[in-house]
Chains A and B, each alone.
Chain A
Amino acid sequence: MLRIAGSVFVIGATTLLGIKRASELREGCRQMEYVRNLFYQIQSEIRYARSPLGEIFTYVGKYAGEPYRTWLLELGEKMEKKEGGTFYDLWQDGIRENLKMSALSQIELKRLEELGGRLGLMDIDMQVKAVELYLSGISSSIEEIREGMRTRIRLCHCLGVMSGMLIVILLL
């Protein structure tokens, strides 16, 4: 009786782990879509309002969800204070401090960091194109993830159950 109960617990636990991993995959994709929307907003602020970056981050940050709200508002505040460092330094520090624990993958965080090196420069067309390039990169990543998402989620669920069963078999 005890063995059966133990086996049920083990299989239940690994199944839950599989479900959790699947929901992380879904959340990662959802977060990428959210970041893409934020940058659509930032791009239109650059293109039409021609506002400085600090002003844009403060404006967009006010209506953004966490952790992007803190990231953008803090970045805007640091730019306003003008306490040293290049824009790229402030941008990288902000990402490392505030977005490390977000659902974005390391590849996406790296892509975001690289964007900072192309912002704040002389030409408005160049700025718009830099954000466009980032948006097209993140969009194709989202598409790729979406295409394989259903299979991956099923795989996570199956692996969760199967790994539980394997452990039970090995232990019995």
Chain B
Amino acid sequence: MQGERILNILPRSIRLLIRKEVPDFVHLQEIRLRTQKPLILVYNGKEVFVERARGEPYIVTKEELREMVDYISNYSLYAYEQEMKQGFITVEGGHRIGVAGQVIIEAGRVKNVKHVSSVNVRMSHEVIGCADKVFPYITRQKELCHTLVISPPRCGKTTLLRDMIRQISDGNRYLKGKSVGVVDERSEIGGCYMGVAQNELGIRTDILDCCPKAEGMIMLIRSMGPEVIAVDEIGTEEDVHAVEYAMHCGCKMVATAHGRSLEELKRKPAFDRLVKEKRFERYILLGNETRTGEIFGIYDHKTACLFHENTGEKKIC
């Protein structure tokens, strides 16, 4: 199903090749297409060159990229103007399609991208149960702690967040099911299609698709009364303000942010204050040294280590 969805947005000539080359889509991470350059897959963490014939790489043509842009935009580029400004479109299933080409500037700001010459398909993977390991650390007396997941790109933070949302919403042995409000600015968490989440997000989840995070959090608090709010990739000052507002409203926050370590996070102006004021009660640090989604460590509000992958330190508050 996931494979078919992603094949559907590829140029027809490439669909057959990928079908032959990729035995299962679970381990496929990226498909990279560049005009007049070889077609490259990232499979199981390794680069694979797709071959037209033995030893001869498949070269992507300009027409194929044009065809692909038609498919990813559903023949309607105007409907994805906002997404194109950010350099990517999220398609059904939550897969992120990055684009590069000639940028159109208006009043000194990026307006759109034309003559697309590179496309990067980043596969979204739903891993049911990947958050099992973190729940003993992010819950306290059957209550959820404000949690921030920190990791560099491609380390599985959205995947972890998605499974955390599912388990918080459905309930598990560590906490009772809670109503969760998700602000999915880039459609990556739910992979919504016409407003309905295609990924499993639990029975008590309300999702605001394609909505700016800061505005969305406030909308959800006013309209849906969530017990928990989940957002992906907070980063701006505005996002941080909205997170604080949600916390003051009595909602528990589950969020993700880019970073390699807690120290790096503290160096970012917006987050420095959040850490100092101990807004988040738990920090989960991810990496991909041995595998994607590897949990490096879990820290409490004072940034004291509760769990560490290497030392195996396990201390539950």
Contacts and interface: CB of A to CB of B under 8 A. Distances in A.
A87 B78 contact: no
B73 interface: yes
Contacts of B77: 120-122
A121 B69 CA distance: 11
B67 interface: yes
B81 interface: yes
A104 to B, nearest CB: 23
B78 A120 contact: yes
B78 A121 contact: yes
B74 A124 contact: no
Q: Which of B73, B78, B114 counts the most A-chain CB atoms under 10 A from its CB?
A: B78
B220 to A, nearest CB: 21
B8 interface: yes
A55 B73 CA distance: 12
B276 to A, nearest CB: 41
Nearest to A124: B78
A120 B80 CA distance: 11
B273 interface: no
A123 B81 contact: yes
B70 interface: yes
Category for how many chain A residues contact B: 20 to 34
Given A122-B81, A122-B112, A124-B81, A84 B76 contact: no
Contacts of B71: 82
A86 interface: yes
Nearest to A90: B75
A83 interface: yes
B119 to A, nearest CB: 15
Nearest to B8: A82
A51 interface: yes
B9 interface: yes
Interface in A80-124: 82-84, 86-87, 90, 120-124
Given A55-B194, A87-B70, A122 B78 contact: yes
Contacts of A67: none
A28 interface: no
A138 to B, nearest CB: 22
Nearest to A75: B75
A126 B76 CA distance: 12
A122 B81 CA distance: 7
Contacts of B70: 82, 86-87, 120
A52 B67 CA distance: 16
Interface of A: 46, 50-55, 79, 82-84, 86-87, 90, 120-124, 126-127
Ordered nearest first, which 5 A-B pairs have the shortest CB separation? A52-B74, A52-B76, A87-B75, A124-B78, A52-B79
21 contacts: A50-B79, A51-B76, A52-B76, A52-B79, A53-B74, A53-B75, A53-B79, A54-B76, A84-B67, A86-B75, A90-B75, A120-B76, A120-B77, A120-B78, A122-B78, A122-B112, A123-B78, A123-B112, A124-B79, A126-B78, A127-B78
